[in-house]
Structure 1
Amino acid sequence: MRAQRKQCQVGSKYTKRYSEECKRDAVELVRSSDQTVTEVARDLGVSAESLRGWVKKARTAQDTGPLPGAARAADGRDEELKRLRKRTAEQVKTIENEKSDSLLREEERPVSTVCRSSTRRMRTTPSR
């Protein structure tokens, strides 16, 4: 097994770094064998904690990996969400414009018109 360890190790013998291929192979060996992580690590000549970390990282990547077609579905949802937010913003702007237009119409009426309408109401009501 020493020959395999030398091939996997990248860098000097003092800084133990392992290639991605070596890590994948070690993780696959842990998954496919009936040996414990510690036993596989001892056979490969790597730290048991390093191998546990590689297995955990591989499991996390496998669990959270994108499903086929999930990226396209997410893109579709993102596009629809963007479109709906834009539409909502336009509708809010339209409503605000309508409100301000109606307020302007009331404010633009001359005072005499307002006074005339109130005096007409007063004239048409029967006096007691």
Structure 2
Amino acid sequence: MPAPWKYPDELRERAVREARASGRPMAHVAKDLGIHKEALRGWVRQAEADKGDRPDPLTTAERTELAHLRKEIAELRRANEILKAASVFPRRSSTSPARG
């Protein structure tokens, strides 16, 4: 499955600046820039979180760290499953006589 399309970072930054500075409704700014109003609303919220103006959402750095930690947890869970599966096989002792 191809990766979802993303707006260029320059457009995001410009849109957030314009939405904050203009004082106009976000829907009007979004329409002028040719983007969806909810995309602009989300970008402004994220920019406010990154700046520390909004305490509720995660910052971009926190989102990046969270994604990294989730990936690491998934890898550790896979490794644990492999170890559990391997532990059900009896181990041969190097001192036991060879069969055959």
Structure with the bigger percentage of helix: 1
For the superposition of Structure 1 and Structure 2, which TM-score range results when normalised by the shorter chain? 0.3 to 0.5
Q: Return the TM-score normalized by structure 1.
A: 0.37
Q: Return the TM-score normalized by structure 2.
A: 0.46
